Amino acid sequence: MTVEGLSINLATTRGSWGFAEAVDGCLARGITAIAPWRDQVAAVGLDEAARIIHLNGLKVTGLCRGGMFPAADDAGRQAAIDDNLRAIDEAAALGADCLIFVVGGLPKGSRDIAAARQMVEDGFNSILPHARAANVPLAIEPLHPMYAADRACVNTLKQALDLAGRLGPDVGVAIDVYHVWWDPELAEGIARAGRENRIFAHHICDWLVPTTDLLLDRGMIGDGIIDLPGIRDKVEAAGFHGPQEVEIFSAENWWKKPGEVVLDTVVERFRTVC
């Protein structure tokens, strides 16, 4: 039986499964949509990953990830651009719905967040012609402000939409509940994203209280305090009806469990919570 409306970001089973094992686990449970990470694809080889995807008719809701544009010098910024051009080619080969972007934080030694944000915009402008030629949509994922210094200087849905608006119609957003649930302007931002046709992905997990690690202690859906159905209602009202992509980083809990247990729990919670 197919589990409609569910995608598995392969970070969720990273603790026990590689790419091929995760695909087998998903297919065994009727899950036909995935979102792999570039290192997982590289481990089996791009051609083999593409073969597995196409052979099994899998939907790829996103490839993780591009970004990390800011750097302390021209060489570092060019290296980031070159890597993002490769990421676009990988997303095209896999038939991904979009390439997800974690844009990057402050360059080493910098305190100038405005300059970092300009580097992000400049980086996007450098890669957009290649993305358009490859027909790969780019999805900016705003990250929680706690990551502004080291991972992403785009931190709210409004910021991401403003940036996408300057870049063009083939740049949108990935709405990850872990990063945006707290935003008092979230409802307005989701509605705006829908009006502008910029919702390219919807990621779900949960925020645990207490949280023991701000990066690697995401909760299983239903174990935390995020109003997942309420946010999904807003996303669907805005016109996005694509899969909900479960993405859980959990070094001390779910990554220590067998992949079978993780996916069985995801499916059960998806049916009862989402």
CATH classification of the domain holding 205: 3.20.20.150
Identify the band that residue 2 occupies on the pLDDT scale cut at 50, 70 and 90: confident
User: Rounded to 5 degrees, what are φ and ψ at 256?
Assistant: -95, -5
**223 in any annotated domain:** yes
Residue 68: predicted pLDDT: 98
**1 in any annotated domain:** no
**Contact of 39 with 47, CB cutoff 8 Å:** no
1 has pLDDT over 80: no
Tens digits of residue pLDDT in 90-134 = 999 999 999 999 999 999 999 999 999 999 999 999 999 999 999
Q: Is 67 left (phi over 0), alpha (psi -120 to 50) or beta?
A: left
**Contact of 151 with 105, CB cutoff 8 Å:** yes
Residue, of 1 and 197, whose pLDDT is higher: 197
245 has pLDDT over 80: yes
Percent of the chain surpassing pLDDT 70? 100
Mean pLDDT of 231-245: 98
Mean pLDDT of 38-45: 98
What's the chain's average pLDDT? Answer: 98
Mean pLDDT of 229-253: 98
214: domain range?
A: 6-273
Residue 259: predicted pLDDT: 98
**206 in any annotated domain:** yes
Beta-bridge partners for 101: 66, 140
- Of 74, 79, 143, whose CA–CA distance to 105 is shortest? 143
Residue 131: predicted pLDDT: 98
Mean pLDDT of 140-150: 98
**98 in any annotated domain:** yes
**34 in any annotated domain:** yes
Q: Give CA separation, 145 vs 61, 124, 154, 174, in Å.
A: 25, 21, 8, 16
**Count of the separate structural domains present in the chain:** 1
Tens digits of residue pLDDT in 171-206 = 999 999 999 999 999 999 999 999 999 999 999 999
Mean pLDDT of 35-47: 98
Q: What is the pTM of this model?
A: 0.98
Look-up of token digits 């998806």: 270
